[in-house]
Chains A and B, each alone.
Chain A
Amino acid sequence: MVDVNTAVQSGSALLKKQMGSFAGSFGYEETAYHLPVSFALTGIAVHDPATAASAYAKMQDNPLIAQECLLAVKAGKAGREPAPYTGFIPDTVLRKLGYSLVDGSIIGLALLVGRPEKGSDAAGICRELQEKYMLTFLAGDIIASLTGNGVKVGLDYRLIPLGSTNAHGVHFVDIIARVAMMFGGVTPGDAGRLLTYAAERAKAIVFVFPGLSDEDLALVDAMRVLGFPIVSLGKYESGDWISASAEDAVRRGMEAKGIKVTVTAIPIPMGCSPAFEGKSIRKEEMYVEFGGGRSPAFELLQMKKKDEVTDGKITVIGPEITAMKEGSANPLAIIISVAGPAMKKDYEPVLERRIHNFVNYGEGSWHVAQRDLIWVRLSKEAVAKGVKIEHIGKLLASKFRMDFPSLIDAVSVTLITDRDKVLAAKRDAESVYAERDARIRGMKDSDVSIYYSCTLCQTFAPNHVCVITPERPALCGAISWLDGRIAYEISPAGANQPVEKGKAINEITGEYEGVNRFVKKASHGEVDRCSLYAVMEFPMTCCGCFECIALMLPEVNGIMVVHREFTGMTPSGMTFSTLAGTIGGGAQTPGFAGISKQYILSDRFLQAEGGIRRLVWMPSSLREELKSRLLKKLEEQGIPDFFDKIADETTAATIEDLSSFLAKVDHPALSMAPLI
């Protein structure tokens, strides 16, 4: 066994000694980047011993610089090595290589150095790398070993023989350094950015066979700082290297670097792309629908143990699309199980919300709302092309794996269309939703200085910005403050961004300088002011996904709430869907606000208008749904009898009825400050 750390120390010392041993000028032709590694790291154009020494010193005697200088000196003296060796790769060739990397025709780079004990092992690794669209560079004895085993090398075969010694492996690094400067906008001398670029963008792996000298080991080990996994196939001992057998070397290297052979096409008979996201399916275009108040439907995503999830497994329980009548509303449960080492329970609701986007990606599938409120449609056109319920599952499984490769290893989807089974599963789902809601209960807006935005709906409503606080979940009810924070952790460039609350302008209406600043920017300048707790003045914008609408009723000096499931007429003279059409689309509509059900139970609810005492009407089904929690809330506020003062469609169907009902029960709103 060779102890890598000891060897690296001795190798580095040997290299340092040689650094003083050359004279005269040296360098490569056909490049604008001098000695590229030294140039990229230090900004120094090395061409003689003095510049070499200063670059070497600047990088604290880094073996990469030493090897690069020594190899350039050697190449200058001895001239180019004969074919098949390429030696230093000129800039023009490199542009083409870089092109293929950006273009995606090659997905990563590999370097193989050393002398394989068995030529067939090395040949196997090369074949595997070729099959996986990796571009492979070779340095040292491995080249002879491969050609001896009948492997063809050269650019056409994606196997590039750099040179006869392991030290030629430094060209691998100079290629990456130049790609970073040419394509990554890395300025010479900005070592920090180079390292970040190499670590994050350059998908490179190094495979080490036996037979490396101490200097060679110092070179290879120094590549770790660029974020390249070093996979050892020899008797090397290092805590930082990966030991692997020839069979699993490629897999382990690619796994360590996070290189995935991506699935690009989802095998379903309809297109799937964000391009279709904004397209809705109108009634006349629809073949069947699910949910939307017409039939029971819900969606649920949960994390499971790895052995409980069979990746890619799609199960349909109940009738398939072929057994459904055209134009009918059918029950549907979308149940997704995911597993992965980085997955957390807290992430579930955030991922669950992505079902909305993914189903909309389908050319002939459409989805709105969330949890047990979902409304899904499949178009006639899609069904004519052969789309089935099963394909929605395939689409979801593929998209979750594609979009969250770091979180999810396995996804399985169960779709239930059998009414009784949907209803049974829905009860379980509801307890999961309640559990999630409970997790955030108890946290106050004043406890935190950062809120989270949600602009997920900007595809539909381009200027809409949700500001999510602990006491005011997103208006769709699907994303809490905690979810916003987690979503931001998972994807820092995503639709949930931190919003610095900033100085309070008005604590009662919930207007803050930082929130205003954020909303102005995120709404593309459309909205200047946003009051978090107000309906009347500067309410939050509405997309279209709101669970409920709160609106003022000037005739009775109060505010009513209607939820999405209520299809009847409200005292405002408008149904939910008419109201939704009036206030949605990303506009700020004074007197109207899109809210979540959970928010009704919040202490901040209607704070600007005097709190829950303003609430005059809500549908009986919503009243019933919230009853137990609302009663508790009202008790805390010292108005336990208030619950019975809230009218519903059975006690007050019209504004006139409402007016007399409120007078009869002596509703507090009647004596509150005028709304307008």
Chain B
Amino acid sequence: MGLTPPFDWTGSVGTVTLGATAAEGGTRSVSYRIGGGTTLPLLPGGNPGHAPLVAFEICDDIKLWPAIALKACGNVTGDIAAWAKIAENTYQADVIRLYLTSTRQRNFSDFAKIKTTVRAVLDATTLPVIIEGSNEPAIDSEVFLACGEAGQGERLLLGTAEAGRYRSIAAAALAYNHGVIAQSPIDINLAKQLNILLREIGVPNNQIVIDPYTGTLGYGFEYSFSAMERIRFAALKGDADLAMPMICSAIDSLNIKEVRDANPAGQDRMAISWECYAGIAAAAAGAEIVCVRHPGSVALLKDTFSHLTPKSGGA
């Protein structure tokens, strides 16, 4: 491009490994090292050559899942293994993100089933896997223990740690060597604080991925963008407590009224557009994993990212 931006960064984004191949003690066909950037996202000369990863999100209880995603995926949604498989082989996702939505029902206690579900997904796909556990503190301990154990050796990414509840996830990450998603509500200071809390409990920086919390495009995304920008600046300016790669999931994209009320014939196109533009904006702000729920978004995002990403080292 001939553009040499006049930055004088002193720091860089740390790297986090996602997934483990047989050589690394797991059973994945690929593992990713995300992070490592030494300048702003997508600029030449200073970002590792790989494009942001596209994660496809699936869940084990579809009650709360957006109808349009379920419709687009068809009848595999009832079978978690089949869903994971199609996400890898047909949708061509880079990563599978499993939401254990079953744990979100009242008085959930079937912790053995979590293990079977996690195992089923790991067996069905060869891709690295992200697991989203419970969001109820009372069962966190059991849920994350099950997730951690079921995925031992596979270098999962476990989510989602927040300032008030991070101990169980941290424990699972430490005991079974997984990564942790650390989420803060669009606030750089809280992001930093949570990273410090995780460090104090013993989770090293190279096992933490920041989730800045992503609003949907047009529904607060600009706040997320600004927080992400500042996180990236801080990392590049040498703040080790914020120098982690970021993950973004604008999960409300498929629930907004523009998509819900779209003309049925064009609804899929509308859904894909909203997901993809949010994803591209997130990548521009520094996201290294972008998550989507509509199958049609995967290929489009991957194609876009491949054009946006400068080749390694090239300026």
Q: Contact: B189 with A98, CB < 8 Å?
A: no
Identify A524's interface contact among B172, B190, B237, CB under 8 A.
Answer: B237
Q: B148 within 8 Å of A by Cβ?
A: yes
Query: Which residues of chain B from 163 to 207 have a CB within 8 Å of any chain A CB?
Result: 163-164, 167-168, 170-172, 174-176, 185, 187-190, 193, 201-202, 204
Q: Does A278 contact B (CB under 8 A)?
A: yes
Chain A binding surface SS class: helix
The reply to whether B202 and A462 contact each other, CB–CB distance below 8 Å, is: no
Q: How far is the CB of B95 from chain A (nearest CB, A)?
A: 25
CB contact between B176 and one of A95, A100, A184, A275 (< 8 Å): that residue: A95
Asked whether, in the complex, the Cβ of A102 is within 8 Å of the Cβ of B167, the reply is: yes
Residue of B nearest to A94 (CB): B175
Nearest CB in chain B to that of A183: its residue: B174
* Residue B234 is within 8 A (CB to CB) of chain A in the complex: yes
Q: A525 at interface (Cβ–Cβ under 8 A)?
A: yes
| Residues of chain A lying within 8 A (CB to CB) of residue B174 | 98-99, 102, 182-183
Q: Which residues of A contact B208 (CB under 8 A)?
A: none
A459 within 8 A of B: yes
Query: How far does the Cβ of B234 sit from chain A's closest Cβ, in whole Å?
Result: 5
Report the separation of the CA atoms of residues A299 and B230 in the bound assembly, to the nearest whole angstrom: 35
**Do A459 and B189 have beta carbons less than 8 Å apart?**
yes
* Minimum distance in angstroms from A188 CB to a CB of chain B: 17
**Chain A residue nearest in CB terms to B196:** A493
Contacts of B187 in A (CB 8 A): 278
Residues of A within 8 A of B168 (CB): 103
Chain A min CB distance to B253 (Å): 25
Which residues 3-49 of A sit at the B interface, judged by CB distance below 8 A?
none
Give how many A residues have a beta carbon under 8 Å from the other chain's beta carbons. 25
B237 lies within 8 A of A182 (CB): no
The answer, yes or no, to whether A185 is at the interface (CB within 8 Å) is yes
Q: A99 to B237, Cβ gap below 8 A?
A: no
Tell me the minimal C-beta distance from A322 to chain B in angstroms. 30
Instruction: Give B134-150 as 1s and 0s: 1 = Cβ < 8 Å from A's Cβ atoms.
Output: 00000001001100110
B164, A273: Cβ atoms closer than 8 Å: yes
Interface size (B, Cβ < 8 Å)?
A: 31
With both beta carbons as reference points, the residue of chain B lying nearest to A526 in the complex is identified as B237
**CB-CB nearest in chain B for A522:** B239
List the B side residues contacting A273 at CB < 8 Å: 163-164
Residue contact A524 to B233, C-beta cutoff 8 Å: yes
User: Do the beta carbons of B202 and A99 come within 8 Å of each other?
Assistant: no
Q: Tell me, yes or no, whether A274 is within 8 Å of chain B by CB.
A: yes
Cβ B189 vs Cβ A95 within 8 A: no
Let me know if B109 is at the binding interface, CB within 8 A.
Answer: no
What is the minimal beta-carbon distance from B285 to any residue of chain A, in angstroms? 18
Q: Point out the residues of chain A lying under 8 angstroms from B234, CB to CB.
A: 524
CA distance A183 to B145 in the complex (A): 15
Does A105 sit within 8 A of B, measured CB to CB?
yes
Considering the complex, which residues of chain A in the window 263-278 have a beta carbon less than 8 Å from any beta carbon of chain B?
273-275, 278
Q: Mark A80-117, 1 if CB is under 8 A from B, else 0.
A: 00000000000000011011111111000000000000
Residues of B within 8 A of A521 (CB): 238
Contact of A525 among B148, B185, B237 (CB under 8 A): B237
CB pair A102–B202 under 8 Å, yes or no, is: yes
B142 CB, nearest partner CB in chain A, Å: 10
A659 at the interface (CB under 8 A from B): no
Of the candidates B164, B171, B204, the one whose C-beta lies within 8 Å of that of A185 is B204
Q: Quick check: A184 and B202 within 8 Å, CB to CB? A: yes
A278 to chain B, nearest CB (A): 7
A184 and B203 alpha carbons, distance in the complex (Å): 9
Q: Does A458 lie at the interface of the complex (its beta carbon under 8 Å from any beta carbon of B)?
A: yes
Check B193–A99 contact: CB distance below 8 A. no
Is A102 within 8 A of B201, CB to CB?
yes
Contact B185 A99 (CB under 8 A): no
Give Cα A96 to B145, complex, Å. 8
Whether B167 and A274, one on each chain, are in contact in the complex, defined by CB atoms closer than 8 angstroms, is no
A99 with B175, Cβ < 8 A, contacts A462-B188, A524-B239 known: yes
A462 to B207, CA, bound (A): 25
B142: nearest residue on chain A (CB-CB)?
A105
* A99 and B188 within 8 A (CB): no
| A525 and B10 within 8 A (CB) | yes
**Contact call A183/B164, Cβ cutoff below 8 A:** no
Q: Are A275 and B164 in contact (CB under 8 A)?
A: yes
Chain B nearest CB, measured from A186 CB (Å): 11
Which residues of chain A have C-beta atoms less than 8 A from B189's C-beta?
278, 458-459, 462
Q: Using A102-B167, A103-B171 as known contacts, say yes or no to A274 and B188 having CB atoms under 8 A apart.
A: no
Q: How far is the CA of A102 from the CA of B200 in the complex (A)?
A: 11
Residues of A within 8 Å of B193, CB to CB, are 274
- Complex Cα distance, B190 from A462, in Å, reads 11
Contact A103:B164 (CB < 8 A) given known A95-B175, A184-B202: no
B237 touches A102 (CB 8 A): no
Interface flags for A450-465 (1: CB within 8 Å of B; 0: not) read 0000000011001000
Least CB distance from B185 to A in Å reads 7
Nearest chain A residue, comparing its CB with the CB of B201: A102
- Residues from chain B with Cβ under 8 Å of A524 in the complex: 233-234, 237-239
Q: Tell me if A104 and B239 are in contact (CB < 8 A).
A: no
B170 to chain A, nearest CB (A): 6
Contact check, B190 vs A182: say whether CB atoms are below 8 A apart: no
What residue of chain A has the Cβ atom nearest to residue B177's Cβ?
A: A182
Name B175's contact: one of A96, A274, A278 (CB within 8 Å): A96
Query: B163 touching A104 by the CB < 8 A rule?
Result: no
User: Inside 8 A of A275's CB, which chain B residues have their CB?
Assistant: 163-164, 185, 190
Is the CB–CB distance between B238 and A183 below 8 Å? Answer: no
The answer to whether A182 touches B202 (Cβ under 8 A) is: no
Report if A105-B202 is in contact (Cβ < 8 Å); known contacts: A98-B174, A183-B175, A275-B164.
no
Q: How far is the CB of A133 from chain B (nearest CB, A)?
A: 12
With A99-B148, A105-B141 given, is the CB distance from A182 to B175 under 8 Å? yes
User: Does B163 lie within 8 Å of A102, measured CB to CB?
Assistant: no
Q: Is the CB of A103 within 8 A of B141?
A: yes
Interface string of B205-245 (1 = CB under 8 A from A): 00000000000000000000000001001100111000000
Q: Which residues of chain B are within 8 angstroms of A182 by Cβ–Cβ distance?
A: 174-175
Closest to B242 in A: A524
A497 → chain B, closest Cβ, in Å? 14
Among residues 2 to 56 in chain B, which have CB atoms less than 8 Å away from a CB atom of chain A?
10
Give which listed residue, B148, B202, B239, contacts A183 with CB less than 8 A: B202
- Binary contact readout B233-277 vs A (1 if CB under 8 angstroms, 0 otherwise): 110011100000000000000000000000000000000000000
A524: nearest chain-B partner, CB-CB: B237
Q: Determine if A104 and B175 form an interchain contact, defined as CB atoms under 8 angstroms apart.
A: no
- List 30 contacting pairs A-B, 8 Å CB cutoff, sorted by A: A95-B149, A95-B175, A96-B175, A98-B171, A99-B145, A99-B171, A100-B171, A102-B170, A102-B174, A102-B202, A103-B145, A103-B167, A103-B168, A105-B141, A182-B174, A183-B202, A184-B202, A185-B202, A273-B163, A274-B190, A275-B163, A275-B164, A275-B185, A459-B189, A462-B188, A462-B230, A524-B234, A524-B237, A524-B238, A526-B237
Which residues on A are within 8 Å of B, measured CB to CB? Answer: 95-96, 98-105, 182-185, 273-275, 278, 458-459, 462, 521, 524-526
A100-B171, A185-B204, A278-B189 are known contacts; what are 14 more A-B pairs with Cβ within 8 Å? Answer: A98-B171, A98-B175, A99-B172, A99-B175, A102-B175, A102-B201, A103-B141, A103-B167, A273-B163, A274-B193, A278-B187, A462-B189, A521-B238, A525-B10
Kindly list the 4 A-B residue pairs having the minimum CB-CB distance in the complex, ordered from nearest. Answer: A525-B237, A102-B171, A103-B171, A99-B175
